[in-house]
């Protein structure tokens, strides 16, 4: 009963290397290794980061940092901002090696609390609030915090190392970003916003006698090039996860056929006793909700087409029909009912070739929510 990820190692590593080669002339590459390791696993991604020579890797939370510190010799950047009011996370920070960890600070109170709490040297990145509007200092908050005597004293005494400014951009263009003045500019809204922050950070870095480092994410190649071209002396670091790790041509999720039941007439099957196509076949395949099958994030529905798809999917769900991620004989196959914990039941209509027990069915999965029983490399 195996839901497995098969990795074409040669092709996958070629994808990783080519992605880094394409982007490294524009910025230092910071591999992001968070969550379930994009379905591949944090340890495997840590090994790949080490193979490419990455000296800094990024994880999502302090809980992931503890494991990554044992998986790699790299410095570990924690993306989730440090805040002493998150009591359990704060306790976890106590046990980390401060010399190999970079904390993200996203508000003035946390910066002051960190200086009060930390007895030895600490390295931080200060996050600016972009159009993402999730975490971050406003520009006025950042300027005030950096002007505070306690902060300046901590920097000059070596108790606080500020490793740069973090800018976490939205995936789509910022909707509220004002248009460029004068003639129409080819720069995207994300580029304009990044450059505005970089200008502020360059001035503050000079005042604090720091090298201006800026850590960015969610910029495509042309946007990264535009930011690099306008960043002046600032050193860019690109945090990259999905684009670096996920090459669907090299990664295949496969469920094993566990049982095949030809049925005559509109027979009822499963926990909920739903009927299927006349004279169809029920195929039981490994892969269920435990593995992430059938789980999905809410649809963004950002345009009319996406809304129509969401509405159509909702109507099908309400009628008890849902398309599975599994394919057989060149087509996606319907769930017979919602997936179980570790297996799924699928309908095959009459006339479709029936798989044998032990055959593999390919599944189009969302890797960030997938959990595999086995990972096979070749």
Which residues, listed in sequence order, are joined to residue 75 by a DSSP beta bridge? Answer: 56
Complete domains list, the chain, with CATH: 3-245 (3.20.20.10), 253-377 (2.40.37)
Instruction: In whole angstroms, give the CA distance from residue 374 to residue 78.
Output: 28
Q: Where are the alpha helices (DSSP H) in the chain?
A: 9-23, 42-51, 62-71, 87-94, 108-117, 139-147, 149-156, 189-207, 221-230, 242-245, 304-318
From 152, 134, 137, select the one nearest 197 (Cα to Cα).
Answer: 137
Q: How many CA atoms lie within 13 A of 378 on its CB side?
A: 8
Which residues, listed in sequence order, are joined to residue 361 by a DSSP beta bridge? Answer: 255
End-to-end CA distance of the chain: 21
Q: What is the pLDDT along the chain (378 residues), one digit of tens a residue?
A: 799 999 999 999 999 999 999 999 999 999 999 999 999 999 999 999 999 999 999 999 999 998 899 889 999 999 999 999 999 999 999 888 889 999 999 999 999 999 999 888 999 999 999 999 999 999 999 999 999 999 999 999 999 999 999 999 999 999 887 765 544 457 899 999 999 999 999 999 999 999 999 999 999 999 999 999 999 999 999 999 999 999 999 999 999 999 999 998 888 999 989 888 888 999 999 999 999 999 876 656 555 444 433 333 333 343 357 999 999 999 999 999 999 999 999 999 999 999 999 999 999 999 999 999 999 999
| pTM of structure | 0.90
């Amino acid at each position: 009963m195996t839901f497995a990820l098969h990795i074409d190692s040669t092709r996958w590593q070629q994808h990783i290397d080519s992605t880094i080669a394409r982007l490294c002339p524009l910025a230092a590459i910071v591999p992001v290794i968070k969550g379930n390791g994009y379905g591949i696993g944090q340890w495997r991604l840590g090994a790949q980061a080490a193979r490419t020579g990455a000296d800094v890797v990024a994880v999502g939370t302090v809980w992931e940092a503890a494991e990554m510190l044992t998986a790699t010799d790299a410095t570990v950047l924690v993306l989730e901002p440090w805040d002493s009011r998150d009591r359990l996370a704060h306790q976890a920070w106590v046990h980390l090696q401060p010399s190999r960890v970079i904390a993200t600070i996203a508000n003035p109170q946390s910066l002051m609390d960190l200086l009060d709490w930390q007895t030895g040297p600490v390295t931080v990145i200060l996050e600016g609030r972009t159009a993402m509007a999730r975490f971050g200092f406003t520009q006025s908050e950042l300027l005030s915090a950096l002007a505070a005597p306690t902060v300046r004293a901590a920097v000059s005494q070596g108790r606080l190392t500020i490793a740069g400014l973090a800018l976490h951009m939205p995936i789509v263009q910022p909707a509220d970003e004002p248009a460029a003045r004068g003639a129409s500019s080819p720069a995207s809204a994300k580029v304009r916003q990044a450059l505005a922050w970089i200008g502020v950070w360059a001035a503050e870095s000079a005042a604090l006698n720091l090298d201006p480092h800026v850590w960015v994410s969610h910029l495509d190649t042309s946007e990264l090039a535009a930011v690099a071209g306008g960043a002046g002396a600032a050193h860019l670091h690109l945090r990259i996860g999905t684009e670096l790790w996920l090459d669907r041509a090299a990664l295949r999720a496969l469920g094993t056929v566990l049982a095949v039941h030809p049925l005559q007439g509109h027979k009822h099957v499963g926990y909920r006793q739903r009927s299927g196509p006349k004279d169809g076949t029920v195929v039981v395949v490994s892969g269920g909700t435990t593995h992430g099958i059938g789980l999905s994030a809410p649809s963004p529905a950002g345009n009319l087409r996406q809304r129509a798809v969401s509405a159509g999917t909702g109507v099908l769900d309400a009628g008890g029909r849902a398309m599975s991620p599994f394919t057989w004989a060149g087509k996606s196959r319907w769930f017979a009912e919602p997936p179980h914990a570790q297996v799924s039941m699928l309908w095959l209509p009459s006339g479709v070739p029936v798989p044998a027990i032990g055959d593999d069915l390919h599944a189009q999965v969302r890797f960030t929510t997938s959990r595999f029983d086995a990972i096979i490399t070749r």
